Chains A and B, each alone.
Chain A
Amino acid sequence: MVQSRREFLNTLIRGGILAGLGLLGGGMIFRWVRKGSCGYGGACEKCPKAVECTLPEARNYQQTVWQLDPSKCIQCGRCATNCILTPSAVKCVHVFAMCGYCDLCGGYFKPGTKTLSTAAESQLCPTNALKRRFVEDPFFEYTIDEKLCIGCGKCVKGCSAFGNGSLQLQVRHDRCVNCNQCSIARNCPAGAYSRVPATRPSLLKGSGNEGSSGKKGGPTT
């Protein structure tokens, strides 16, 4: 009878789809669980390949988040304009260990300022997010108010040109929504964005975190 033949065919195809989905799922899980050889021999935390590693120990490092590499950054301003959040989830971060605490800070002051004070007309920052505080002669401490920072990178450019490069742009994960495809990552002209382990989500220059240079997590990495 036609009815039962069609029913049979349906059942067959249904079984085939089930098998196919099972194979797909099983294959993915298998790849995830498979023991590979560890060429690193050290703590997973410091291994640069943690994101793509198939060892069970590295599983903690595979929930990934987006991060930008300041050594590739050219301060084009797209971090401020391309993030789907307003203001951007990318902020300037100060690596105090690298700072010179200079009076004439290259990232704080506009070039050619007459007075070295906290006057608004002397400042580079368009939103007054970079704060200057006297510590002792002749050192000044510079801190960033993240509520005000828009991630435009002006201070970063000034600091890297005239100073030690202690001001760097970074994605802040208390704000970042961790999109499947990062809008900024797609538009970054220097390809500075990549996925890094969520347990070690920073790529700051000079603070000892350089090992976690991220790897594959999607296109535009």
Chain B
Amino acid sequence: MKKTVIRGLFFLVLLVVSLSSFGIQRFPKPEFESGYVQPGTVIPAARTTILSILDVVVLLTACAVISWLIIRKRSRNWVFLISLCSLVYFGFYREGCVCSIGSVQNVALALFDGLYILPWTILAFFLIPLLFTLLFGRIFCAGVCPFGALQDLVAFYPQKLGSRWNAVLGLIPYFYLGLTILYAATGSDFIICRYDPFVGIFRFNASFGMFLFAGILLISGMFIARPYCRFLCPYGVLLNWISRFSWRHMTITPANCIQCRLCEDSCPYEAIDKPVIRKDPVPVRIRIRKLLLSGLLIPLFVLAGGWIGSQLYQGLADVNPTVKLVRLLNDPSASQQQPEPFEITAFRSSGKPVSQLCSEASVILKKFYTGGWILGGFIGLVFGFAVAGRMITRYHPDYIPHKSTCFSCARCIDYCPVKS
């Protein structure tokens, strides 16, 4: 009797279970006579969607508040306080992911890969700071970005680098941005995430290499204020460009500049432009010559850069896992290594034919060839504009923050004696 009941239950369970399966031949479990009930497999749920919407709302609020504090209230102390709050929320609570800097990668992937749907929260993280920058300058850097807040905390003895060093080191973010977009667009790697220095601090957990990276950056940050922001941040390139055309950028003086020179050494980022008085009007001939020179140089740089980039396409492509696997399979020293690299073991046991892998890799290599031209051309363009920029002098009688490199941190505001 007991056996029939149990057999009946087992049959019922099998029926129910087979209905919910995909027709997989799942082998019947043992018959338990002691009344043992087989536990189900627990699958914990992921973080709810509502919290990621909250993140966007906080971002929006923070940007709005900081804009008001910088443009209207003009208070350094308040800006510092908000930056600390952002550090706590976006840094330590959200552990720095997903951030606006990283959103560049997701947007690049979404633009070039038809199958990837960009979550709207990440799009918001990308667009909101850019829109606010278009309005008010780099307020995002001042009080919302946790990276900036962290570096601001350690900027104890900021030194002046001089315009030449600033210009040279300032080219690094363009390389970083170009490579980021290239690798994200081809679906190879997210290099901003890979070389994220501070996320280990936010998580209180990182490998030795990552801690060393963060440590070096922070030590360097004690003497060069905001090294990541000025010389590495790829999102900063976009903010840099957009801030140049911002509608209501922060000004040092609330009314007129009296050229008292008190703010000259107040900026740790060397972002204040000293007044440049026009002595004599520059002859038209020289102006035209400068224009022609720029007009020639820039396309030349673009072409040269593009050509160099295209020649380097194989080295660039090697970051892609498929291309790397093909190279590994053909590498004699890899096959000699004992024990054999797991990539090779896994590939062989997957049963995929090598020819299919190679055809996938060649498609990717073609993409990298085009990408190499574009990347190289982009770098050439940046070089060209940098050189051309040094030839052109802007005339202004007042002390003004350089719109592209000023982080709107409002330190200089405290130095200005003018009250509105």
Contact = CB atoms under 8 A, between A and B. Distances in A.
Nearest to B319: A219
29 contacts: A10-B245, A21-B127, A24-B127, A28-B118, A29-B123, A51-B117, A72-B346, A84-B205, A84-B207, A96-B41, A99-B29, A143-B39, A176-B46, A178-B46, A181-B194, A186-B194, A190-B346, A191-B321, A202-B43, A206-B24, A208-B21, A211-B22, A216-B113, A216-B115, A216-B187, A218-B105, A218-B109, A219-B190, A220-B189
Nearest to A96: B38
Contact of B110 (A14, A18, A28, A135): A28
A14 B134 contact: yes
Interface of A: 10, 13-14, 17-18, 21, 24-25, 28-29, 31-32, 51-52, 54, 62-65, 72, 74, 76, 78, 84-86, 93-101, 135-136, 139, 141, 143, 164, 172-174, 176-181, 186, 189-191, 198, 201-202, 204, 206-208, 210-211, 215-221
A43 B349 CA distance: 34
A180 B97 contact: yes
A177 B97 contact: yes
Contact of A208 (B22, B117, B127, B246): B22
Nearest to B184: A219
Given A76-B346, A95-B41, A97-B17, 10 more contacts: A31-B117, A63-B49, A74-B349, A76-B345, A100-B30, A143-B39, A173-B46, A190-B349, A207-B41, A208-B20
Contacts of B105: 180-181, 218
Contacts of A32: 117-118, 120
Q: From DSSP, what is the main secondary structure of chain A's interface residues?
A: loop
Nearest to B110: A28
Contacts of A210: 22, 24
Given A21-B134, A32-B118, A180 B110 contact: no
Interface string B14-34: 000100111010110110111
B120 A29 contact: yes
Contacts of B116: 52, 216-218
Given A84-B206, A95-B41, A54 B30 contact: no
Interface string B194-214: 100001100101110000000
Contacts of B118: 28, 32
A95 B40 CA distance: 8
A31 B98 CA distance: 21
A95 B131 CA distance: 49
A218 to B, nearest CB: 6
A94 B357 CA distance: 34
B95 interface: yes
Contacts of B52: 63
A192 to B, nearest CB: 8
Interface string B65-109: 000000000000000000000000000000101100010011101
Given A139-B30, A216-B116, A174 B343 contact: no
Nearest to B42: A93
A28 B123 contact: yes
Q: From DSSP, what is the main secondary structure of chain B's interface residues?
A: loop
Contacts of B345: 74, 76, 189
Given A97-B29, A97-B38, A13 B245 contact: yes
Contacts of A78: 342
A100 to B, nearest CB: 7
A24 B124 CA distance: 11
Contact of B205 (A85, A136, A181): A85
Nearest to B185: A219
Given A17-B245, A191-B321, A219 B117 contact: no
A181 B321 CA distance: 14
B247 interface: yes
Contacts of B117: 31-32, 51-52, 54, 62
Given A32-B120, A65-B46, A97-B29, A218 B22 contact: no
Interface in B33-67: 33-34, 36, 38-41, 43-47, 49, 52
A191 B341 CA distance: 14
B385 to A, nearest CB: 14
Most chain B C-beta atoms within 10 Å of own C-beta, residue among A13, A14, A65, A97: A97
A220 to B, nearest CB: 6
Given A180-B190, A208-B22, A218-B190, A62 B41 contact: no
A52 B115 contact: yes
Contacts of A177: 95, 97, 203
List the 3 closest pairs (A to B, CB-CB), nearest first: A189-B342, A190-B346, A181-B190
A221 to B, nearest CB: 8
Contacts of A74: 342, 345-346, 349
B149 interface: no
A101 B321 contact: no
A145 to B, nearest CB: 13
